[in-house]
Amino acid sequence: MESSLKAIHQQSVPLVREIAGIWAEFLDGREVEAGDSFFEIGGNSLIGIRILDRLSETYGVRLSVRDFYLAQTPARIAELIELGRART
C-alpha cells in the first residue's frame, strides 16, 4: 500500500501545481504553494464550493465538502483526486 501511495504522490506533482493555480484564480491571484492551508490563505466556504465545482469539471472526480475541508492543501487535494481516479 505504501508503494502505491508513493507512486500516486510522484504522479501528483503536476496536478498539485494545477490545483494551486485553480486556487489562485479564486483567491484573487494570490500565490498558492502545495502545503498552503486553504483557510489560512484567505479561503472561505463559498470559495471552497466554487473550487470543488471546478475540480469536478476539470478532473472528473467529485470530492465532498468534508473531504475538501479536511484536506485543506493543494497537495492533499491532489492525492484525493488521484485516489478517485484510481477507483474509476
Return the pLDDT at 86. Answer: 78
Return the pLDDT at 59. Answer: 95
Q: Is the pTM of this model over 0.85?
A: no
* Each residue's pLDDT expressed in tens, for the chain with a length of 88 residues: 444 445 545 556 899 999 999 999 999 999 999 999 999 999 999 999 999 999 999 999 999 999 999 999 999 999 999 998 877 6
How far is CA 73 from each of CA 44, 66, 85, rounded to the nearest angstrom? Answer: 13, 13, 18
Pick the CATH number of 2-87 from 3.20.20.30, 3.30.830.10, 1.20.120.1200, 1.10.1200.10: 1.10.1200.10
CB 50 within 8 A of CB 14: no
